[in-house]
Amino acid sequence: MEHSECGLACLAMILGYYGYNTTLPEIRKRFGEAPSGVNMHQLQMMALEYKLECKGYKITTEQLDRMKPPLILFWDNNHFVVMEKFRKYKVSILDPAKGRYGISIKELGEKFSGFVLSLVPGDLFTPKKRKKEFFFILSVLKGWKLLFSIILVALFLQAMGVFIPQLTQWFIDDVIGGQRQNLLFPFSIAIVLLFLYILGFHCLRGWLIAKLQSKIDTTMMTQYIGRLFMLPYNFFENRKGGELVFRANSNILIRNVLSNRVVSIIIDCLSFITFAALMLNNMVNMGIIVITIGIFMLGFIFLSSYISQRLSRQEVSTQTELYGFLSENIQNITDLKLLGAERDAIAKWKSIFEKQLKATEKRNVWTSILSSNSVSIQLTLPLFVLWPGAYYVLEGNATLGSLMGFQALAASFIVPIVSLGQTYSDIVNVRTYIQRLQDVIESPPEYTGEKVPSISFQGHVEFCDVSFKYNKYGNEVLKNISLIVRPGERLAIVGTSGSGKSTLAKLLLGLYEPTEGFIKIDGTMLHLWNKQELRKRISSVVQESRLFNSTIADNIRMHHNDITLDMIVQATKQAAIHDDIMKLPLGYQTMVSENGFNFSGGQRQRLLLARALLYQPKILVLDEATSSLDSTSEHLICDSLSHIQCTQIIIAHRLSTVRHADRIVVLDNGQIIEEGSHRELLYLKGQYYNLYTLQEEKHSFSPIS
Give tens-digit pLDDT for 308-349.
777 877 887 788 788 778 888 887 787 788 778 888 889 999
Q: Inform me whether the pLDDT recorded for 217 exceeds 80.
A: no
Q: Return the H-helix or E-strand segment holding 404.
A: helix 400-441
Q: Inform me whether the pLDDT recorded for 704 exceeds 50.
A: no
Domains of the chain in sequence order: 6-121 (3.90.70.10), 134-441 (1.20.1560.10)
Q: How many C-beta atoms surround the C-beta of residue 545 within 10 A?
A: 17
Question: What pLDDT does residue 702 have?
Answer: 46
Maximum average pLDDT range among 438-442, 600-604, 693-697: 600-604
Residue 304: pLDDT band with limits 50, 70, 90:
confident
Between 112 and 98, name the one with better pLDDT.
112
**Using CA atoms, how far apart are residues 694 and 682, in angstroms rounded to an integer?**
12
Coil vs helix vs strand at 32: strand
Between 41 and 139, name the one with better pLDDT.
41
pTM above threshold 0.75 = no
Residue 137: pLDDT band with limits 50, 70, 90:
low
Question: What pLDDT does residue 209 have?
Answer: 76
Between 241 and 601, name the one with better pLDDT.
601
DSSP 174: I
Percent of the chain having pLDDT more than 70? 94
Beta strands in 598-670 (DSSP E): 619-623, 647-651, 663-668
Q: What integer is the mean pLDDT of 659-681?
A: 91
Percent of the chain having pLDDT more than 90? 22
Q: What integer is the mean pLDDT of 390-412?
A: 78
Task: Give CA 581 to chain center in angstroms.
Answer: 38
HSE value, Cβ hemisphere, 13 Å, CA-based, for 217 = 10
**Using CA atoms, how far apart are residues 59 and 337, in angstroms rounded to an integer?**
44
Q: What integer is the mean pLDDT of 106-131?
A: 86
**Using CA atoms, how far apart are residues 497 and 632, in angstroms rounded to an integer?**
26
Q: Inform me whether the pLDDT recorded for 396 exceeds 80.
A: no
Those residues whose C-beta lies under 8 Å from the C-beta of residue 439, and which sit 6 or more positions away, are 23, 24, 25, 247
* DSSP-derived pairing of the beta strands 79-86 and 99-104: unpaired
Q: Inform me whether the pLDDT recorded for 528 exceeds 90.
A: yes
Q: Inform me whether the pLDDT recorded for 382 exceeds 80.
A: no
DSSP 175: I
